[in-house]
Amino acid sequence: MVVKVAIPQQFKLKVIPDFKSIFFPNRKEIHYIGGSEVLPAPLETERETEVIGHLGSEYDEEAKKLLIEHNLRLVVYIAKKFDNTGVGVEDLISIGTIGLIKAINTFNPTKNIKLATYASRCIENEILMYLRRNSKTKMEVSIDEPLNVDWDGNELLLSDILGTEEDTIYKDLENEAERKMLIRAINKLSSREKLIVKMRFGLDNPEGEEKTQKEVADLLGISQSYISRLEKKIMQRLKREMVRYE
């Protein structure tokens, strides 16, 4: 169940009913839109752990609000990577903020994943889904237009995201049944494809640490662009296999 977060008045903007911020590229500070107040810095690790510990408690609402506030800079950072898609950076930040709110509302501290990593995925996914639906973006920007890099440092092209949402294999699988289906699907792949998927999904180590496309390419001695193309084919195949098991 999604828990609504009480949003302070200074966060409320015209684009979405919650809040957003704006980044001034010529200055180091990140400010709330319409004001000079600087966005809060990320919480220290110990403090963040303490706040996360209050999720699901009587202080749940306050904990969520605090985590959202102190991760707004992450939204700005990720949104800026898509600033040449034809969509205004303020709109991207608004959409990314929705992703952040969803991330905080659905974050499960018992899963072996850091909040920043989980939030980054949710923020980026929200922006990508928006761009897929935005026909203006599709018409005005070349599909081969580079969008800098994605959240984990990989080069991203507009053609990588302008598909349907059904083409996406989500990394955050919600339950054990889905994980088992993924493992069964992976076992249908070739040895090399298996290795790539396991490294990318963090299935090759007990910590669940995922490798970027560049890291995988370096380990296998091939180019990152080749890994990117191969990964798309693998994801499509995994999608087909998982549909069969449903």
Give me the residue label for tokens 């396991």: 198
DSSP string, 161-217: T-S-GGG---SS--SHHHHHHHHHHHTTS-HHHHHHHHHHHTTTSTT-PPPPHHHHH
Give the Cα-Cα-Cα angle 23, 212, 45 (nearest 5 degrees). 60
Q: Above 50 in pLDDT, residue 49?
A: yes
Mean pLDDT of the chain: 71
Q: Above 80 in pLDDT, residue 142?
A: no
Domains of the chain: 9-164 (1.10.1740.10), 176-245 (1.10.10.10)
pLDDT confidence of residue 13: 30
> Both tokens of residue 149?
């890099």
115 pLDDT band, cuts 50/70/90, is very high
H helices of the chain, in order, are 45-52, 60-69, 72-80, 89-106, 115-133, 135-140, 176-186, 191-201, 213-220, 224-245
> Both tokens of residue 130?
């928006």
29 touches 38 (CB < 8 A) = yes
Q: Above 50 in pLDDT, residue 10?
A: no
pLDDT tens per residue, range 16-27: 233 333 333 333
119 pLDDT band, cuts 50/70/90, is very high
The rounded distance, in Å, linking the Cα atoms of 89 and 80 is 6
pLDDT tens per residue, range 202-222: 777 777 777 888 888 888 888
pLDDT confidence of residue 74: 93
The rounded distance, in Å, linking the Cα atoms of 118 and 151 is 11
Residue 132: which residues within 8 A CB-CB, separation 6 or more? 161, 162, 163, 164, 165
The rounded distance, in Å, linking the Cα atoms of 230 and 236 is 10
Measuring CA to CA, which residue among 170, 163, 161 is closest to residue 239? 170
CA contacts within 13 A on the Cβ side of 44: 2
Q: Above 90 in pLDDT, residue 28?
A: no
> Both tokens of residue 243?
């549909």
pLDDT confidence of residue 244: 65
Between the CA of residue 163 and those of 86, 92, 186, what are the distances in Å? 17, 19, 23
Average pLDDT over residues 26-32: 42
pLDDT tens per residue, range 155-194: 555 544 444 343 344 444 445 555 677 777 788 888 888 8
Q: What is the pTM of this model?
A: 0.48
pLDDT confidence of residue 64: 92
